[in-house]
């Protein structure tokens, strides 16, 4: 890494942190002139693809998760930050756990797990759209514990 001020080619990293998913921000100090500068390293993203129910493949796109979440959270007390947090956490797990392809259903499961803790109404809405219930009894089984919780309020 060359210093942008004096062109000296040795620097040391004084601080390093993830600035966003797939990017690392590094604060560097030139060992020649001692000036500091910042670099952003972008991790090359593997072309992760999502396997849809019909077997077709589409590129993984975090914005698709956002669209689903925003629909489910419509008029619910869920903040943009909470939605963003769910998306970031799901995205991280997707990239850690899967190499090239991930079934869309698995992404749904990752979202369910997080949404359940945030807002149960939004969770049920999301589940009713994305999770395939074999029959109505499965759906009711899933709902029952939550409805009991609601009654207690």
What H or E segment, with its residue span, contains residue 100? none
With binding defined as CB under 5 A, does residue 3 bind Zn ion? yes
- Taking CB under 5 A as the rule, does residue 28 contact Zn ion? no
Q: Tell which one of 1, 8, 36, 92 touches Zn ion (CB under 5 A).
A: 8
Shortest Å distance, C-beta 1 to Zn ion: 11
Contact flag: residue 5 with Zn ion (CB under 5 A): yes
Q: Which two tokens stand for residue 95?
A: 């990239």
Which range in 5-13, 94-102, 126-134, 144-152 contacts Zn ion by CB under 5 A?
5-13
Question: Do residues 124 and 133 touch, judged by C-beta distance below 8 A?
Answer: no
Place of tokens 């000296």: 8
Nearest distance from C-beta of residue 35 to Zn ion, angstroms? 5
Instruction: State how far the Cα of 45 lies from the Cα of 29, in Å rounded to an integer.
Output: 28
Determine the Cα–Cα distance for residues 57 and 52; give it in Å rounded to an integer.
6
The residues of the shown chain that bind Zn ion, judged by CB under 5 A, are: 3, 5-6, 8, 30, 32-33
């Amino acid at each position: 890494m060359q210093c942008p001020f004096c062109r000296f080619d040795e620097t040391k990293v004084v601080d390093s942190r993830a600035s966003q998913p797939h990017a690392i921000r590094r604060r560097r100090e030139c060992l020649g002139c001692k000036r500091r500068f910042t670099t952003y390293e972008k991790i090359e993203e593997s072309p992760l693809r999502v396997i849809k129910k019909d077997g077709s493949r589409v590129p993984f796109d975090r914005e698709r998760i956002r669209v689903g979440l925003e629909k489910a959270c419509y008029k619910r007390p869920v903040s943009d930050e909470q939605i963003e947090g769910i998306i970031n956490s799901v995205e991280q797990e997707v990239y850690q756990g899967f190499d090239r392809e991930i079934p869309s259903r698995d992404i749904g499961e990752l979202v369910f797990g997080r949404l359940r803790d945030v807002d149960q109404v939004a969770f049920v809405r999301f589940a009713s759209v994305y999770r395939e219930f074999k029959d109505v009894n499965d759906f009711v089984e899933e709902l029952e514990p939550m409805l009991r919780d609601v009654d207690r309020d």
